[in-house]
A and B are shown apart, each in its own frame.
Chain A
Amino acid sequence: MQAIPANPFGAPVDNGLNDTSPLNYVDVDFTYPYDVVLTADQFLRDQTVSTTNDADFAWRAVVIAFSTGPFNVRFADSQGYYLSNGMIVSANLQGDAASPYPIFPEILIPAGGRIGIDIQDTSGNTNTIELLFRGVKRYRVG
């Protein structure tokens, strides 16, 4: 192995990040999207993004890729445990794909599992939303 000098102006992603896959697994970048159109003030509980059966998903970040208005949201892991004590306003989850809202430490969603979502429009109008759950699929290779 040889170390590559980092460009101090460059982002870590451009300089390169070493493989941190656990032993006998390989991590592959993946994003699960959640698309919804809320009517004015609509509150949807216990929505689900299902993970595929081929690999566990290590959830590392959330991106609000698009919304036509503000909303509140709360997430739960695959066991149904909420990740916050209440709804979070979307403005507190700001970020874009290049600098997303981090989920740290990562949350492991098993293959065939789910990410739970409660979501509520607060714009008073129809609200078209896309959330992206960024992370890695963790494939077993050993």
Chain B
Amino acid sequence: MRIIEEPYFTPDGTLDFPFAYVYDSSANSDAQNILNISQQLQGDSDFILRRIMGVPTVVDTPANGGRFNFKNASGNYANGNPTTGIIVPNTWPVVPEKKYRTNEQISFDLYRTLRAFNVCSATPIYASQIAFMGVKRFAKGSGYPRQITPYKYREVRYAYAFELTINWAHFDNLGNVQPAQRFIQQMDNFDFELLRISISQPGANVDGVPTALTTPDFAITLYDPNMHQFSSAPLLQGFLNAGRPTPATSSPYQATFPCPSQIYPAGSAITFDITSLLCGPSLPQNYEILFDGIWRYPC
């Protein structure tokens, strides 16, 4: 059968909620082989794994032996080379998707670790994460609220541009990690369906062409209208950023988030926490976060 364009079907009554389980490797050491790492799932739902992002931020280059492998829920490896791993780029689609049940774990191996970092004098700021992207699948009758627009509407393209200034560094003067800061983008007028997020710096330009942000300047924790997190920990901005570095180049992680889309009712807000990964001397930095989507215009 060649028909591949068809709606995705889930079991009756279940709710798919976009989610990312984040493994932060900041606490690892470099040049190690670390096997059977467990990314424990939260106890509220099954998880459907569809994409793995960020492996090159956690292991060394392929030429130096950086490799990765992971396991199915059954405990069998998802790839060959069970003793050496395989080379995995920025983004690794999982097709068909893999289901991990409530309270199970995603087990994986890292070969020759090397943590990506932002230079900040003698103390590096690590930007080293693997994101297991997919959806939480809430069971029928779990009571998790589904967002439904209660009025008749037509769809109108709309976007919210949020101007963000980061004026705090990752470390304070005493070398302690500074907490995340919270921001909100109010949903005025109508329900808003969030389809994609792109992030850039005003004026960023390469050879006369505007360019999206590609460096891990900060991490984001994004919330739904009911203040449920979309990720288990702050995500590097690149994992959410669908903006293109050049017109001909896709975003480094080929990101589209949230997927499936998320409805923010009128009067609610897109809430997000920003964790600075910047070094003090580079402050302040200005960004624009574009929340791109659809207004549900009453008719």
Q: Counting CB contacts under 8 A, is B164 at the interface?
A: no
Residues 80-126 of B at the A interface (beta carbon under 8 Å): 80-81, 84, 86-98
* A23 in the interface (beta carbon within 8 A): no
Q: Among the listed stretches A3-11, A73-81, A83-91, A117-125, which one makes contact with chain B, having 4 or more residues with CB under 8 Å of it?
A: A3-11
Known contacts A14-B50, A17-B96, A97-B88; A31/B79 CB under 8 A: yes
Whether A29 lies near B96 (C-beta < 8 A) is: yes
Interface string of B14-34 (1 = CB under 8 A from A): 101000000000000000000
Instruction: Decide if B10 touches A7 in the complex (CB within 8 Å).
Output: no
Minimal beta-carbon separation of A61 from chain B (angstroms): 9
What 1/0 flags go to A1-37 for Cβ under 8 Å of B? 1111111111111111111110000011111110100
Task: Enumerate chain B residues within 8 angstroms of A32, measured Cβ to Cβ.
Answer: 79-80
Q: How large is the interface on A (under 10, 10 to 19, 20 to 34, 35 or more residues)?
A: 35 or more
Say yes or no: A18 contacts B50, CB within 8 Å. no
Contact in complex: A5, B260 (CB < 8 Å):
yes
Is A43 part of the binding interface, using a Cβ–Cβ cutoff of 8 Å?
A: no
Residue with the greatest number of chain A CB neighbours at <10 A, chosen from B48, B50, B133: B50
Contact of B7 among A5, A14, A49, A136 (CB under 8 A): A5
A2 to B260, CA, bound (A): 14
Q: How many A-B residue pairs lie within 8 Å, measured between CB atoms?
A: 137
- Are B254 and A11 in contact (CB-based, < 8 A)? yes
Q: In chain B, residues 105-158, which have Cβ atoms closer than 8 Å to a Cβ of chain A?
A: 133, 135
Contacts of B260 in A (CB 8 A): 4-7, 10, 15-16
* B196 on the A face (CB < 8 A): yes
The answer on a CB contact under 8 Å between B259 and A31 is no
Structural contact, B78 and A97, CB atoms closer than 8 A: no
What is the bound-complex CA distance between A72 and B63, given in angstroms?
20
A3: B residues at CB distance < 8 A: 7-9
Contact indicator B96/A136 (Cβ below 8 Å):
yes
Q: Is A128 interfacial (CB 8 A cutoff)?
A: yes
Q: How far is the CA of A55 from the CA of B5 in the complex (A)?
A: 28
B94 pairs with A29, CB closer than 8 A: yes
Which B residues lie within 8 Å of A16 (CB)? Answer: 8, 10, 16, 48, 50, 97, 135, 260
Residues in A whose Cβ lies below 8 Å from that of B4: 12, 17
Q: Given A8-B195, A18-B9: A30 and B86 within 8 A (CB)?
A: no
In the complex, the answer to whether B96 meets A14 with C-beta atoms within 8 Å is no
In the bound assembly, the distance between CA atoms of A33 and B67 in angstroms comes to 12
Complex Cα spacing A4 to B98, Å: 18
From known contacts A1-B10, A97-B91, infer whether A27 and B261 are also in contact, taking CB-CB under 8 Å. Answer: no
Decide if A130 touches B87 in the complex (CB within 8 Å). yes
Is the Cβ of B86 less than 8 Å from the Cβ of A31? yes
B16 touches A4 (CB 8 A): yes
Query: What 9 A-B pairs come out closest when comparing CB atoms?
Result: A16-B8, A3-B7, A10-B259, A14-B259, A65-B87, A10-B256, A1-B9, A66-B62, A31-B79
In the assembled complex, 24 residue pairs joining A and B whose CB atoms fall closer than 8 Å, in A order, are A2-B9, A2-B13, A3-B7, A4-B16, A5-B7, A6-B7, A7-B260, A11-B93, A13-B94, A13-B95, A14-B256, A14-B259, A18-B8, A19-B96, A28-B72, A28-B98, A29-B97, A31-B78, A32-B79, A32-B80, A33-B86, A97-B91, A98-B91, A132-B86
- 4 extra A-B contacts, CB within 8 A, seeds A13-B94, A20-B1, A65-B88: A5-B261, A9-B256, A15-B8, A16-B97
